[in-house]
Amino acid sequence: MRYRRLIGATALMAGMVVALSAQAFDESKYPDLKGQWRRTNSGNPLRIGLPWDETKPVGLGQQAPLTPEYQAIYEANLKDQAKGGQGTDPTFTCLSPGMPRVMIAYAPMEVVVTPETTYILIEHIHDNRRIYTDGRSFPTNMEEDPQFSGYSIGKWLDEDGDGRYDTLEVETRGMKGPRVFDASGIPLHEDNKTIVKERIYLDKADHNLLHDDITTIDNALTRPWVVKKTYRRVATTKPIWWREDVCAENNVHVGIGKESYFLSADGLLMPAKKDQPPPDLRYFPQTQK
């Protein structure tokens, strides 16, 4: 009998914990971010793809506020890309785009709000984010284990004073490289001391539009670079999450040293641009002619 009472008491306590947890997280106090979100810019017909600043042309038209040193790096990168190379963009080898580039949202995006963490899930390689909203501070040892997407701390704000949260304010630090802003290769500083600040909120006139005002502070820039991203909610209560993006699958790019090559249809290494030098074969026996 005593054991039955103990089991009953344990079950009662477990039920109370679940009930208290449910009461602690009042979903009605948060904006409705459910569903599938897609970027609103349709891209660019040029090979160098989606721009970081949606309001400006891709490439030099972005007018990135780069220091003279990093402007020179960027222009050399563009020349290499024009010849068929990859320039400074590291993602051709399946590295993560990293922050802030992941917020281009190459693939559909989902925002999941929980009491202590807001998750941004993107159907693209390594783009998922975890934003802590539990009141913590940045850890002192971030540099020991940096991440491509960094370490994000957020705070929910009620800016219009109606008793409901409407804005998620986020700061991200602790990123590692190599990272660039977009596929055109706009560089971030190699010291990886980037700080990214965001304000994420629904459009007041259309709650199917989600805005992300992104400020990037980086030593490759002469000033903080502010861009505004907008995503549109897919008009369905049952979105289809069908795409499995495995970058390594059928990837024909091969990086060797500072050069990027191409794998032909018959599985042979071939140059990616005109007059490209072959890789160093010193560790392979040379065939006698």
126-179 pLDDT, tens digit each: 789 999 999 999 998 887 889 999 999 999 999 999 999 999 999 999 999 999
More confident residue, 60 or 22: 60
Mean pLDDT value of segment 66-73: 98
List, in sequence order, the alpha helices (H) in the chain: 2-24, 68-82
Say whether pLDDT at 7 is over 70.
no
Residue 285: what pLDDT?
83
The enclosing H or E element of 228 equals: strand 225-233
- Tally of structural domains, the chain: 1
Q: What is d(CA 202, CA 3) in angstroms, rounded to the nearest whole number?
A: 53
Residue 288: what pLDDT?
61
Mean pLDDT value of segment 171-200: 96
More confident residue, 49 or 279: 279
Residue 223 inside a domain? The answer is yes
Which range among 8-22, 58-72, 80-94, 98-112 shows the weakest confidence by mean pLDDT? 8-22
Residue 165 inside a domain? The answer is yes
Q: How confident is the model at residue 11 (pLDDT cuts 50, 70, 90)?
A: low
Residue 20: what pLDDT?
47
Q: To the nearest whole number, what is the mean pLDDT of the chain?
A: 87
More confident residue, 19 or 92: 92
For the chain, percent of residues with pLDDT exceeding 90: 57
Q: How many C-beta atoms surround the C-beta of residue 188 within 10 A?
A: 26
Residue 106 inside a domain? The answer is yes
Which range among 65-79, 102-116, 221-235, 256-270 shows the weakest confidence by mean pLDDT? 256-270
Give me the residue label for tokens 């925002």. 111
Residue 149 inside a domain? The answer is yes
Residue 280 inside a domain? The answer is no
Residue 1 inside a domain? The answer is no
Q: What is d(CA 49, CA 12) in angstroms, rounded to the nearest whole number?
A: 57
With beta carbons less than 8 A apart as the criterion, state whether 174 and 150 touch. Answer: yes
How far is C-alpha 279 from the geometric centre of its chain's CA atoms?
Answer: 32
Q: Which residue segment(s) compose the domain that 56 sits in?
A: 37-233
Q: How confident is the model at residue 15 (pLDDT cuts 50, 70, 90)?
A: low
Residue 105 inside a domain? The answer is yes
Residue 11 inside a domain? The answer is no
